């Protein structure tokens, strides 16, 4: 298990987890990940190449 800051390649997995956890509309998720989300402020746990 590795705890680290997110990198660009994690983005799709993070979005997938977001969709699993929250029932937000696609437009909001798109907005959030284009305008608010910042890898430098996101910690991830990676295990076997999965976030």
* pLDDT tens digits along 12-51: 999 999 999 999 999 999 999 999 999 999 999 999 999 9
Whether 41 is covered by a domain: the verdict is: yes
Helices (H), the chain: 11-21, 26-35
Whether 11 is covered by a domain: the verdict is: yes
* Count of structural domains within the chain: 1
CA pair distance 49, 51, nearest whole angstrom:
7
**For residue 9, what pLDDT band results from cuts at 50, 70 and 90?**
very high
Whether 51 is covered by a domain: the verdict is: no
7: containing domain = 2-46
CA pair distance 4, 43, nearest whole angstrom:
6
């Amino acid at each position: 298990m590795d705890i680290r800051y997110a990198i660009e390649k994690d983005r799709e997995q993070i979005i997938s987890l977001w969709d699993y956890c929250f029932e937000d509309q696609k437009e909001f998720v798109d907005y959030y990940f284009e305008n608010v989300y910042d890898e430098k402020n996101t910690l991830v746990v990676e295990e076997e190449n999965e976030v």
